[in-house]
A = this chain, B = another copy of it.
């Protein structure tokens, strides 16, 4: 054990202390979204700012930089746990120290105002109200990219925060392969799914029954309720509050129980990853998720590849009927068809599995053009609407259905969107490989047994934390870096497109 190196030991101690602060902040944030009374907001904001500040101060201290340098000079064995931690500490330290505190504060203020303006702009469906904020944000994004440093596109500096090692040029190529294939699937898939619209599911499904059913499903997938729970929020999320404390949230639509069900299967996918991270490394990068694209692969795998399969409904339909007697009017095949209905629509978060990535590709192109100064902020709505119509065949009548629909830009994230598509591709690729590696998988899934699949994901993905960079982890798990083949094959199979 090379922990004998004093600088490494000090880093462990320091980052574990930071984890105590960060995890308290996670609880403060979770409570803010779930149970906090509204008038408590001011004090809560003060608490969260204080803990973030303390954690930032502890990590960006000059001596932390010196300890990291000491570790680098010591040179831990390539492939060792220590080398992985040091690599990630360095990435994070540079990321956090290269921006002067004054700019961080300016950016936070800007985001607070931008978030508010976005809300109003979206409400009024008027991009002009948000435009000056986005303009200022883009200027700072460029400034940050220069301070962080990058090769190729300045977009790479931002991408790297969410997907270490990802590059705009690679994504451009990936999406260039993906897009025409999706378009070729879309026509036939739409046609084949036209007979069973989502609305065949409509009925009355009481919240309490949905909660009971969702819990039964999440438990069957392997979510440990002794180390986690489900609450209700407007915007569903999964939050890890500590090594044995993972909180999922969802919202309920009493007319359609599948919305909260797939919400929970999605968040439980994130939660299973969280619960599978190695607790013994808690507080260090080795117990963090490797990237957003991998995190999203876990949620998409359970939601789409497990949950939207006919196999799933053959097992769960009779159980669902015990919770929702009126569901007996539909067959498992009809439920499956309804939850796989394909139809181009305006809103990304409501998109089906086929069109989803077209929404992402559009956002990626616009983000890239904005940061490379090939598109003016003022021209975003026109460009969005034009490109959207080309892809989806739908005319956008209002900004709220177009470039104002997503919160991301207003909260200062740039380069986040592509990780959703990486998640889709990774999910399919992992599922395909799990099926190859575990021949009995389909039989087990048909019995509603998920231990083999979860075990495979634990072994291949969860237990590694940030040990390997994301693409290396994908190669170790599946034999190849992220690529569209498995995703397209799964869609073609599902919609019987040859």
Interface residues in A377-425 by Cβ distance below 8 A to B read none
State the Cβ distance, A209 to closest chain B Cβ, in Å. Answer: 16
Q: Are B51 and A24 closer than 8 Å at their CB atoms?
A: yes
Count copies of this chain in the complex.
Answer: 2
Size category of the A interface is 20 to 34
* In the complex, A169 has a CB within 8 A of chain B: no
Q: Is A81 an interface residue (CB 8 A)?
A: no
User: A28, B39: Cβ atoms under 8 Å?
Assistant: no
Say whether A224 contacts B39, CB under 8 Å. Answer: yes
A272 to chain B, nearest CB (A): 15
A40 interface hit (Cβ, 8 Å): yes
Interface residues of A in 221-259 (CB under 8 A from B): 224-229, 231, 241-245
A35 to B243, CA, bound (A): 16
Min CB distance A257 to B, Å, is: 21
Q: Is A43 in contact with chain B by the CB < 8 A criterion?
A: yes
Consensus secondary structure, chain A interface: helix
When distances are taken between beta carbons in the complex, the residues of chain B under 8 Å from A47 are: 20, 23-24, 242
Q: Which chain A residues (1-40) contact chain B, with CB distance < 8 Å? A: 17, 20, 23-24, 27-28, 31, 35-40
Interface set, chain A 276-319, CB cutoff 8 A to B: 282
- Indicate whether A105 reaches chain B with its CB closer than 8 angstroms: no
Contact A244 B37 (CB under 8 A): yes
The answer to the question of A150 belonging to the interface, with a C-beta cut-off of 8 Å to chain B, is: no
Q: In this assembly, does A42 line the interface, its C-beta being within 8 Å of a C-beta of chain B?
A: yes
Query: Do the beta carbons of B245 and A50 come within 8 Å of each other?
Result: no
Q: Is A46 an interface residue when CB atoms closer than 8 A count as contact?
A: yes
Kindly name the residue among A40, A50, A244 whose own CB sees the greatest number of chain B CB atoms within 10 A. A40
Within the complex, the shortest CB–CB distance from A110 to chain B, in Å, comes to 25
Collect the chain B residues with CB atoms within 8 Å of residue A38's CB: 226-227
Complex interface: chain B residues within 8 A of A282 (CB): 43
Residues of chain B lying within 8 A (CB to CB) of residue A224? 39
In the complex, the answer to whether B243 meets A43 with C-beta atoms within 8 Å is yes
The listed residue (B36, B225, B241, B244) touching A245 by CB distance below 8 A is B36
Given contacts A27-B27, A39-B226, A43-B245, 20 further A-B pairs with CB under 8 A are A20-B51, A23-B43, A23-B47, A24-B28, A27-B31, A31-B31, A35-B231, A36-B245, A37-B228, A37-B229, A37-B244, A38-B227, A39-B227, A40-B227, A40-B244, A42-B244, A43-B243, A43-B282, A44-B245, A47-B242
> What are the nearest 9 A-B pairs in CB distance?
A40-B245, A43-B242, A39-B244, A39-B227, A20-B50, A39-B226, A40-B244, A37-B227, A20-B47
